[in-house]
Amino acid sequence: MNDQRPGYFASWASLAALAPLYIFSTDLTIGLVLGMTFLVVHSAAASIALLLPVSFGRDRIFVLSVVGAAIAASLCASTIRLLDPFLFEMTSHRLFLTAFTIPVMRAGLIPDTISDRERAWENVVRGLGSAASVVVVGAFRELIASGAVSMTMGQTQTTFLPIAGQPAGGLILLGLAAAVFKALLNAARGTTR
Amino acid sequence: MSGIGLAFYFVFGGNVLIQWGLLPAGDDINKASPFAIIFFMSASAFAALLNGLVYRHVLTPFGLESMAPVLFALLLFGATGLFQGIRALAGMARMDLQGDRSFQATMVLYAVGMMATGRYSSTWYLLGGGAAAAFGYVAATCFLESIMARLELEPIPAPFRGAPIRFISAGLIAMAFSGVDASFFTVFYG
């Protein structure tokens, strides 16, 4: 199968790893909440893995990083609850899942070599990029679902293309976006694979 | 919810996980032994039970719902430590807990736990709902892998090969499942 080759598998895995957040991100407000939470949680896991002494051991550092990420998710949820209890009720389960996504768990792994430690800042950039993509997906899905984008949740009616706001529509849009991206990449490289 | 409703859910329980984008990362599920599938279903059932009971009887009365992921993480690592200890006593090798497969399994376990907590309140339904959702996830994963194997024989345009067609197939499966869910399960069993 094409997507079982190492390069394809890696790119597929990284896209699939964020798929739950893309599917949950149905509008701009939820996208912002999920994106911000993901950024905080991802940064917390990466920081703990980087700052803890190596003498703690690989397994212990991983456990502490994941627990730290879960605490960060809890704090984000509490903050959202203080700001807008209704938004918390609507998004709490989606927020909780961010702590257990594959990118966050990967960020919780201790860097293997000195070179990896020096490139740890890339984790922050990766988290920032992923968080931004979640927000963009939310805004885009709201736009094509309702024909408008609003900062207030529930203000827009999903009458334009309602399927875009549904989970199934999210997966299909993700597939189409991946195909367009792949076509552009192939065109840039001059390949037809 | 009635027992019949739960049994029905056994068939379609995985739809929520598919709808949530918790997709399989490969065709390993088709090679998994029945023992591994039963173990996964049991782990899901206990994860749903623990998550549900703790959420309802420990966190909610004190208004500490936000602490749910922390508690789940502690329970997860507690259970993992116990399991590793049992394996060590039995002279078996340690499990790899830091691979993508383990990460994905963790996420699915938590998703199953949250899903069952939201739908059921009794102990037995939490156990059954967790196992049902896990079975549904495995079933949907097998369906998707079979579809992908069949699509290998079709002349798919180059940009759609690999991940894109997999996402689109998963979306169509999710749409079909949610249609059946909305038409039968929700209407008849609430």
Quote helix, strand, coil % in chain A, to nearest 5: 80, 0, 20
φ and ψ of A150, to 5 deg: -130, 145
- Domain count of chain B? 1
pLDDT classification of A39: cutoffs 50, 70, 90: very high
| CA distances from residue A19 to A7, A24, B69, B85 in whole angstroms, order as listed | 18, 9, 20, 34
Per-residue pLDDT, averaged over B112-124, amounts to 78
Q: Does the beta-carbon distance from B158 to A193 stay under 8 Å? A: yes
Longest dimension (CA), chain B: 58
Quick: pLDDT tens for A99-135. 888 888 888 888 877 777 777 778 888 889 989 999 9
B24 vs B103, which has greater pLDDT?
B103
Q: Determine the distance from the C-alpha atom of residue B181 to the mean position of all C-alpha atoms in its chain, rounded to a whole number.
A: 17
A56, two tokens: 């703690």
Residue of B nearest to A76 (CA): B66
| CA distances from residue A173 to A70, A139, A146 in whole angstroms, order as listed | 30, 13, 15
Q: Does the beta-carbon distance from A3 to B21 stay under 8 Å? A: no
| CA distances from residue A102 to A37, A106, A144, B163 in whole angstroms, order as listed | 15, 6, 28, 17
* Domain locations along chain A: 16-189
Find all residues with CB under 8 Å of A141, minimum gap 6, and list them: A25, A26, A27, A164, A165, A169, A170, A173
Quick: pLDDT tens for B50-59. 888 888 888 8
Query: How many whole angstroms separate alpha carbon A90 and alpha carbon A27?
Result: 12
pLDDT for A3 equals 46
Residue of A nearest to B16 (CA): A167
Query: How many whole angstroms separate alpha carbon B127 and alpha carbon B145?
Result: 27
Query: How many whole angstroms separate alpha carbon B112 and alpha carbon B106?
Result: 10
Q: Which residues of B touch A171 (CB under 8 A)?
A: 19, 21, 167-168, 170-171, 174
A77 touches chain B (CB under 8 A): yes
pLDDT for B176 equals 80
Residue B54 belongs to domain spanning: 3-189
Q: Please, how many CA atoms are within 13 Å of residue A116, restricted to the half-sphere of its CB?
A: 9
Report the residue from A4, A70, A81 with minimal CB separation from B69: A70
> What is the residue-averaged pLDDT of chain A?
83
Query: How many whole angstroms separate alpha carbon B72 and alpha carbon A66?
Result: 11
pLDDT classification of B90: cutoffs 50, 70, 90: confident
pLDDT for A192 equals 59
Task: Provide the shortest C-alpha distance from residue B124 to chain A (in Å).
Answer: 22
Interface of B with A in 23-62 (CB under 8 A): 23, 25-27
B119 touches chain A (CB under 8 A): no
Residue type, A121: W
3-state secondary structure B117-133: HHHCCCHHHHHHHHHHH
